[in-house]
Amino acid sequence: MSTGAGAGAGVTVRVPAKVNVQLAVGAARPDGFHDLANVFLAVSLFDEVTATLADSLTVSCTGPDADQVPLDRTNLAARAAETLAARHGISPSVHLHIAKNIPVAGGMAGGSADGAAALVACDALWGLNTPLAELLDICAELGSDVPFSLVGGAALGTGRGELLTPVEAGTFHWVFAVADGGLSTPAVFREFDRLAEGREIPEPVASPALLAALASGDPEALAGALSNDLQPAALSLRPSLAATLGAGVEAGALAALVSGSGPTTAFLVRDPESALKVAAALEASGTCRTTRVASSPAPGAVVLP
Ligand code: C5P
């Protein structure tokens, strides 16, 4: 058996955030989840998770929002290590350090990213060589967005979002406006259910126009095809996001939408120069806490040399 990294050495995995360029949400299922047609795009905003051998499972975190990250067993990185170790009948003796740059509880799958990164890091550290299909299986057990964090790129997620089909995507440029505080994903789905009460909810299907725009690399076409069924629910819980969306469009963004369940908002822009301009205008508007600039698609979880 390969030992992956020697004792004392760490394995660092870099993992991207995501934005949903289409998030079509179906009716609540008997298990409480919602069927989705979820077009994920990985963006160049990364967390890094470093796994080192330790006496017991511990988690630490640094970064601008590190104080909002749980360091106990509820952290998806810790759960990933425990789940992988349990499958192989070994003890999860590892220290996981998260260098956090993805907004916390922001609708950009930051927690899911750390889960996927920890899984890949522990697999390498413990020299397990777990097949990709089994890693993806563990990811789906950890959460609906975790498989996508592992593979990155661009993909359509069906089921509750965990069943992935890669899709073609050209290069796009984005600005993200980070809000004060997070939004709970279950709360946003509950608000979606409340707003949908008494309405017939159609089956979620991927939009052919959206997929064509994504493949074309034409930002104007993508701007006209973006959609997020969770946006009314996120705006209902956080009405101030409407001002953020408006400020970005006024500053020249081609389109604005809530990222996933929010409260991070995403702005599609023509090129890196307009990204900097829109980011500066958003920061000056006082309608968000801070901004991040990124491009897509980005690779999934990778072990750094
Ligand atoms: O899968 P994950 O643990 O990330 O989901 C968090 C919560 O989001 C779920 O408990 C559920 O309330 C909601 N959810 C949903 N339908 C999905 C994905 C998530 O209702 N497809």
Give per-residue pLDDT as tens, 173-221.
999 999 999 999 999 999 999 999 999 999 999 999 999 999 999 999 9
Which pLDDT score, from 0 to 100, does residue 1 have? 33
For the CA atoms of the chain, what is the radius of gyration? Answer: 19
Give per-residue pLDDT as tens, 45-71.
999 999 999 999 999 999 999 999 999
Specify the residue with its C-alpha closest to ligand 1, atom 2: 143
Q: Is 170 left (phi over 0), alpha (psi -120 to 50) or beta?
A: beta
Give per-residue pLDDT as tens, 123-155.
999 999 999 999 999 999 999 999 999 999 999
Which pLDDT score, from 0 to 100, does residue 4 have? 43
CA–CA gap between residue 191 and residue 261 (Å, rounded) = 11
Decide whether any atom of ligand 1 lies within 6 Å of the 79 Cβ.
no
Percent of the chain with pLDDT over 70: 97
Residues 6+ apart with CB under 8 A from 14: 46, 47, 48, 117, 301, 302, 304
Which pLDDT score, from 0 to 100, does residue 8 have? 57
Enter the tokens of residue 96. 């996981």
Measured in angstroms, how far is the CA atom of residue 221 from the centroid of ligand 1? 30
Chain-wide mean pLDDT for the chain? 96
The pLDDT-based confidence of 9 (bands split at 50, 70, 90) is confident
Q: Nearest Cα to 25, choosing from 220, 177, 158?
A: 158
User: What is the DSSP secondary-structure string of 139-205?
Assistant: HHHH-TTHHHHHHBSEEEEETTTTEEEE-----EEEEEEEPSS---HHHHHHHHHHHHTTSPPPPP-
**Residue of 160, 195, 201, 261 to test ligand 1 pocket, by largest number of atoms within 8 Å of CB:** 160
The bridge status of strand 227-228 relative to strand 172-178 is: unpaired
Query: Average of pLDDT values for 64-81?
Result: 96
Decide whether any atom of ligand 1 lies within 6 Å of the 189 Cβ.
yes
Tell me: pLDDT of 90 over 50.
Answer: yes
Decide whether any atom of ligand 1 lies within 6 Å of the 105 Cβ.
no
Tell me: pLDDT of 16 over 70.
Answer: yes
Measured in angstroms, how far is the CA atom of residue 85 from the centroid of ligand 1? 24
Residues 6+ apart with CB under 8 A from 188: 230, 233, 234, 237, 261, 262
The pLDDT-based confidence of 7 (bands split at 50, 70, 90) is very low
**Paired strand residues for 303:** 13
DSSP state of 264: S
Enter the tokens of residue 88. 């192989």
Query: Average of pLDDT values for 271-292?
Result: 98
Max Cα distance, the chain (Å): 59
> Coil, strand or helix: which one is 217?
coil
Tell me: pLDDT of 6 over 80.
Answer: no
